Structure 1
Amino acid sequence: MDGLPAGFESNFSWLIGQVFHAHVTESQRALEDFPASQRGYMVVQAAVSGCARNQLEMSKILGLDRTVMVYLVDELVKAGLVERVPDPADRRNRLIVATEEGRARLLDATERVAQVDERLLAPLQGADRERFREMLRQLVGHRHDDPHGACARAAAIADGGK
């Protein structure tokens, strides 16, 4: 294949690492004005989607250290993008909920990240792009099982339901 060093054509670690590095580098540039860059973007996205109820769940889903998560959420609260609100099911717990400003900033940032994705996936045809994304979803889904429905519960609360 063109552009690949000899001996690395079948090295999964190297191949996925190259794609990851290219995406991280370009998306960091696209998100340079977003508080906490990519990490902040992912936290706000998790808050909007409701896939995690609190900092601990978010840190697990996003693969971030719990202590880093505290400082990250603090920064996003200070920027007005998320807020900590009492969990109606457990007052000791605080939910991380996106503000209207957070939702607006996320929409703008998501458009920029989508442009990064399009540039990165440009060598693939339309059907191949979707198949690649589907395969990634299968791999990630296999690692992020949600047997207790936490994402659905958090989404309902984030939308004002119980």
Structure 2
Amino acid sequence: MEEQSDLVEACVEKWDFNWLLHRATQRVGAAYAEEIAKFGISLRGQLVLQALANEELQRTQLKLGAMLGLDKTTLTSELDKLERAGLVQRVPDPSDRRVRTPVITDKGRELQKEAGDALAEVDRAFQARFTHQEMVIIRKALQDLSRGEGPMHGSCI
């Protein structure tokens, strides 16, 4: 086990920026995934529920996918899971029956709130490693990087 620890330490010393960001993302993502699994949904499911719970205006599946950075197939699969669990329902548009509007159910709203609170605790634990000033710098740097030029590949989660 000590050899593995030494190997990890040696890797952490690398100065390859992409590698460091990737490893940090893996660590944070794993903690979030472990926590959200306790609620029987995925991080994508929570993202969808959060968008639906916070959205004042209803959005079609197409618009929801664009807003969340999820392609049609990924979003449809996630909505299928959430619908089977009774967390969302897809309501047909009265003027165009080909269009569906996902709507969060009361059960979905309750689960989203509980899961969101749990994820906020995970977030606080990671942020507690840094001073407020450091977090301001980290957040600004990550926002600047996320707004960078060039193509975006994959979904937001």
Which TM-score applies when normalising by structure 2?
0.71
Matched, 1:8 2:14: yes
Shift of 1:4: 6.6
> How many residues in Structure 1 have an aligned counterpart in Structure 2?
140
Report the Cα offset of residue 132 of structure 1.
2.5
Counterparts in 2 of 1:109 and 1:87: CA distance versus 1, 3 Å: same
Q: CA deviation at 1:6?
A: 7.1
1:83 aligns with 89
The aligned amino acid for 1:68 is T
Q: 2:53 aligned to 36, 48, 55, which one? A: 48
Identity %: 32
Counterpart residue number, 2:107: 101
1:89, distance to aligned residue in structure 2 (A): 7.1
Structure 1 residues 108 and 4, CA, compared in 2 at 3 Å: closer, same or farther?
farther
1:30 and 2:35 aligned:
yes
User: CA 1:18/1:69 → structure 2, altered by over 3 Å: closer, same or farther?
Assistant: same
What's the Cα RMSD here? 2.9
Change (3 A) 1:129 1:74: same
Separation (CA, whole Å) in 1 of partners of 2:50 and 2:72: 18
1:113 aligns with 2:119: yes
In our comparison, the structure showing a higher alpha carbon Rg is 2
Change (3 A) 1:118 1:6: closer
Aligned letter for 1:95?
Answer: T
**Pair 1:57–1:30, CA change in 2 (3 A):** same
Using the size of structure 1 for normalisation, the TM-score is: 0.70
Q: Is the 8 A contact 2:90 2:102 kept in 1?
A: yes
Q: 2:64 aligns with which of 58, 61, 84?
A: 58
Deviations 1:3-46 (A, max 9, x none): 5747623x221121112101111011101133432111111112
Per-residue CA shift, 1:99-133, capped at 9, x if unaligned?
12211111111111112112222221123224433
- Letter paired with 1:97: V
Gaps of 5+ in 1: 144-162
Say which of 55, 68, 74 aligns to 1:68.
74
| 1:87–1:95 CA contact under 8 A, matched in 2 | yes
Letter in 1 for 2:131: Q
Aligned to 1:123: 129
